[in-house]
Amino acid sequence: MALDVRTESVGDGSVVVRVRGYVDLETEERLGQELTAALSRSGVTEVTVDLTEVPFLDSSGVRVLLDGRSTALARGAVLAVRDPQPVVDRVLRITGVAELLGLPPDGDGLAARVDPA
């Protein structure tokens, strides 16, 4: 599935990066370039990565999000994700990066459990 990434300014210093498609080894470079470009905009203090239309994210996708977070922190900005699909949310929680990327804590402890099925 091709990756579509669109970036838009939504307010004073805030940018939303809307991602659509699979974020995996084939597409992570494109997302990384878009995150870097968004964080390079003058006056940007917050980048939100909208994952509403991302049905799949693998470890390379996790890495590119963490790289974006590191870049943001180095520039005095914040990078956070929002609205991940259930499968993507689970990947972010199992890998232990959900809260680092701005998602609320998992109240029922599902991140710590692995379903046997």
pLDDT tens, position by position, 62-89: 999 999 999 999 999 999 999 999 999 9
Domain span holding position 15: 4-104
Residue 81 domain-assigned (yes or no) = yes
Residue 43 domain-assigned (yes or no) = yes
The Cβ of residue 35 has, within 10 Å, a number of other Cβ atoms equal to: 25
Q: Between 109 and 92, whose confidence is greater?
A: 92
Residue 116 domain-assigned (yes or no) = no
- Count of domains forming the chain: 1
- Please give the structure tokens belonging to residue 21: 């498609």
Report the pLDDT averaged over residues 15-37. 97
Residue 115 domain-assigned (yes or no) = no
User: Residue 4's pLDDT is what?
Assistant: 96
Q: Give helix then strand counts, H and E, for the chain.
A: 3, 4
Q: List the one residue out of 73, 81, 74 whose CA is nearest residue 97.
A: 81
How far is the C-alpha of 41 from the C-alpha of 5, rounded, in Å? 16
Residue 114 domain-assigned (yes or no) = no
User: Residue 107's pLDDT is what?
Assistant: 52
Residue 97 domain-assigned (yes or no) = yes
Q: Is 114 helix (H, G, I), strand (E, B) or coil?
A: coil
- Place 106 in a pLDDT band, splitting at 50, 70 and 90: confident
Indicate the DSSP class of residue 3.
-
pTM of whole model > 0.85? yes
Residue 9 domain-assigned (yes or no) = yes
Whichever domain contains 26, its CATH number is: 3.30.750.24
Residue 38 domain-assigned (yes or no) = yes
